[in-house]
Amino acid sequence: MFNLILFGPPGSGKGTQSEKLTSKYNLKHLSTGDLLRNEIQSQTALGNEAKKLMDKGHLVPDEVVTGMISSALDSNQKCNGFLFDGFPRTSAQAEALDRLLDLKKAPIAILLALEVSEEELVRRLFKRGETSGRSDDNNDTVIRERIIEYHRKTSPVAEHYQRKGKVVMVKGEGSVDEIFSALCKEIDSRINEKHD
Ligand code: AP5
Ligand code: MG
């Protein structure tokens, strides 16, 4: 089993690259943002509570996302590995994920961190906000708040995996295909190592 985290600030291209990577390496894509938006769409109690926080650019509580990830791991026992997108986003989430993967004897193999300037992040999110219908994309204050949350609560996740020697930084600006190639190069050099 090959488990990887695709890491980076809002708008860094995690979702875009995840689609290509999961298809190439036959991994299960787990995006907590997508799972939460599905809950909102279905108007569940969890979705209604999460929406209030997401619309302000704030994170939803750790227990909520960790619970969703735990169920997803249980219902995909046979897959080749997981690509985590937008999770873990706090130190507590990283610790919870490590515990869940320890039970499977399949720890995180690599954290690939997309590096994109703040100016470019804001530009991309605003542009997407014109068409996406995502309520957290069309407001400058909310976009900035998402980036502040990232620096305040999410960047420690990279330090957590840095201490385990798992972090690789990849330039997240350029064409989608160039960035995809750079990510594949890093994965290819590790995927045949023994991880289970
Ligand atoms: P989430 O859905 O995870 O959003 P995000 O991390 O804020 O980032 P995005 O999904 O907007 O960006 P991305 O990095 O996936 O980039 P994308 O490929 O889309 O989270 C949303 C909210 O849910 C959070 O704010 C929080 O409230 C909550 N949440 C989610 N997970 C949570 C967790 N674990 N704990 C607590 N709360 C959680 O690309 C962005 C745009 O750029 C697109 O338009 C794309 O077409 C374009 N683009 C991509 N690549 C390029 C390129 N190379 N050049 C030019 N444009 C590009
Ligand atoms: Mg995304």
pLDDT of res. 195: 53
- Per the domain annotation, does 108 fall within a domain? yes
Residue percentage of the chain with pLDDT more than 70: 98
* pLDDT surpasses 60 at 107: yes
Q: Whose CA is nearest to atom 1 of ligand 1?
A: 33
Asked if residue 9 has its Cβ within 6 Å of ligand 1, the reply is no
- Does the structure show a pLDDT above 80 at 136? yes
**How high is the pLDDT of residue 76?**
94
Whether 134 sits among the annotated catalytic residues: the reply is: yes
- Does residue 94 lie within any of the structural domains? yes
In a domain, 40, yes or no: no
Q: Read off the pLDDT of each residue in 56-82 and give the average, rounded to a whole number.
A: 96
Q: How do beta strands 28-31 and 82-85 pair? A: parallel
Q: What is the mean pLDDT of residues 82-89?
A: 98
Q: What is the mean pLDDT of residues 32-50?
A: 97
Q: Which atom of ligand 1 is nearest to the CA of 36?
A: 23
Residue 71 lies in a domain: no
We report the CATH number of the domain holding residue 149 as 3.40.50.300
Per the structure, how many domains does the chain have?
A: 1
CB 146 within 8 A of CB 57: yes
- Give exposure, 114-149, as e/b (b: 16+ Cβ within 10 Å): bebeeeebbebbeeebeeeeeebbbbeebbebbbeb
| pLDDT above 90 as % of the chain | 88
65 within some domain = no
Give the structural domain span for 111.
Answer: 3-28+81-187
- The answer, yes or no, to whether any atom of ligand 1 lies below 6 A from the CB of 33, is yes
Centre of ligand 1 from the C-alpha of residue 146, in Å: 10
**In-domain check, residue 74:** no
Catalytic residue among 51, 124, 146, 166: 146
Evaluate: CB of 183 within 6 angstroms of ligand 1. Answer: no
Closest ligand, as measured to the CA of 11: 1
b/e sequence 5-24, b meaning 16+ C-beta within 10 Å? bbbbbbbbbbebbbeebbee
Reply yes or no on whether 89 is catalytic.
yes
Judged by its nearest atom, the ligand closest to the C-alpha of residue 16 is: 1
C-alpha pair distances (Å), 7 with each of 101, 114, 177: 18, 6, 18
List the Cα angle 180/14/18 in 5-degree steps. Answer: 60
- Number of continuous H segments (helices) and E segments (strands) in the chain: 9, 5
In a domain, 121, yes or no: yes
Q: Is the CB of 157 under 6 A from ligand 1?
A: no
